[in-house]
Structures are given as structure tokens and as C-alpha cells.
Amino acid sequence: MSKRSKSSLTHLDADGRPAMVDVSAKAATARAATAECRVVFPASVAAQLRGNGLRSAKGGVVDTAVVAGTLAVKRTHELIPFCHPLPIDGIRFAIDWKTARALEIVCTVKTVHRTGVEMEALTGATVAALTVYDMCKALSHAIVLGPAKLRGKRGGKRDVGVVEDATR
């Protein structure tokens, strides 16, 4: 196989084999990423959760989701094979109703390092959503997760979308 072009996948070496990207030559810079994931409930479940202040029989749904999402951010490199272990300087979650039935989870992650935190933000948002599902599945198994998406990243070669402070 020939040398990688700029438009090719970064996690393949010159021989087309999986490889972690070498970031040792990059400068450490401030980086941030914001990701979101939605949890959509059947109307009756959403009404019940609203009436209970987002508490289920297992406890506070939002607080538990934030703790789980935070743990997931810090362990992303253990879950995604080619993610670098990163010093995480900040994690913020914003969880609120987007519509009458959809709970929106927004995760913003910050670091100063040679590689970005997009995967950490996505992992935090999706694991928080999975935790909401787990906390509420006794009410219904018709809960739908997603879409999950990157809202934005800042730092590195280029900025993408909008990175927001999830505490707004």
C-alpha cells in the first residue's frame, strides 16, 4: 500500500494496518469539544418523569447520568482502542428537556494537550444517555437514544461547529 494521503483515515499506517496516531511532534494547545445525545421517551413516560422531577425508582436520573458520563469521559481511552489517555481539565453537562418528550444531554470537555477531546465529549454524552435509559427502563423499553453528534470542537488544526459552555 502507498503512503497515506491527507484525506485518508488517520488510524491506518502506511501498510494499511491499524495504528494509534503519533502526536508527539504536535504542540500542546487548549482544546475543547461539545457533543450531544437525546433521549426520547414515550409521552406517558415523559409526563411521569416530569411529574417526579426526573426521579425514577433508582433515584435521581440527571445526577446519576452526570456521574456516569463524567466517569466515561475519563475512561474513553479504555473504551475506544486508538484514543490517547488525556488529562481532562474540565467536564460540564447540561441536561434539560428539549421538547415535551426529548431530554437533551450536552457534554463539554476541555484539555490542554496534543490531541482533541471529541471522542471524550461524545462518550460522555452517550454514556449519560445510556444511564438515563437504564434509570428509566422499568417505565418503558420504548425509550429511544439519539441522535448523538458532535456540536463542535476547538483547538488543533481547525475548529468545527460551535463549542459551548454546557453550563449555560
- List residues with catalytic annotation: 134
- The span from the CA of 117 to the CA of 108, in Å, is 9
- Contact between 84 and 23 (Cβ < 8 Å): yes
- The span from the CA of 166 to the CA of 91, in Å, is 9
Residue 14: count other Cβ atoms within 10 Å of its Cβ: 10
Q: Using alpha carbons only, what angle is made at residue 11 by residues 3 and 79, rounded to the nearest 5 degrees?
A: 170
- Which three-class secondary structure state does DSSP give residue 160? strand
Pairing status of strand 55-56 against strand 59-60 = antiparallel
Inter-CA distances, 50 with 45, 55, 97, Å: 9, 9, 9
- The span from the CA of 52 to the CA of 47, in Å, is 9
